[in-house]
Amino acid sequence: MIRLEPFTQADFKQLIEWIKDEELLISWSGSLFSFPLTQESLAWYIEDTNDPLTSDAFVYKAVDNKTNEVVGHISLGGISRKNRSARISRVLVGSSQERGRGVCQGMIKAILKIGFEQLQLHRIDLGVYDFNKGAIGCYEKAGMVQEGTSRDSLYYNGSYWSLTEMSMLEAEWDKLHGKHKLLKAAQ
């Protein structure tokens, strides 16, 4: 089981250690950061985040409940209170030993729960580079639905990368995890 806690300056060193090369940085953040990742760029990244009343972005570290070790990073940004929507971004399972063990799916479910149950959002989406089949599979297992592809959306190292767009709506969340189960239990 994964829990999400606010990502703070105390977590910068570990994230920098995980992002060892430029391709991983680009896969994780698109063009938001340049390589190498620095303390200064991460300080800018978390400015004005994680305030439930005013922030349009929440940045988290993912913690394994069994070991209390930080195993990943994830953010929920672009929050539109008017449209009740947001975008999951910068998903990273930190250690390669943790990959394939359900950490990603736990992170996605935890951030969807925050979005739908705490922030009362209607729609949460994300974009993932189409060659990242493991991540796409993880997101589908968590209930995300593929919507389409933004073709050739990022140019890196002599080639274009396309972005698979995925989303979940609150009714889909409720059916899987929320009101649907509560209504069924009450009957």
Query: Which of 75, 130, 157 minimizes the C-alpha distance to 108?
Result: 75
Pairwise CA distance, residues 95 & 172, whole Å:
31
Structural domains of the chain sorted by starting position, each given as residue range(s) with its CATH number in brackets: 2-186 (3.40.630.30)
**Residue 107, CA distances (Å) to 22, 53, 69, 165 in order:** 23, 23, 14, 18
pLDDT of residue 50: 93
* pLDDT beneath 70, residues of the chain: 96-100, 178-187
> Which residues is 75 bridged to in the sheet?
59, 89
Query: Which of 67, 89, 66, 69 minimizes the C-alpha distance to 77?
Result: 89
pLDDT of residue 180: 46
Predicted structure pTM score: 0.91
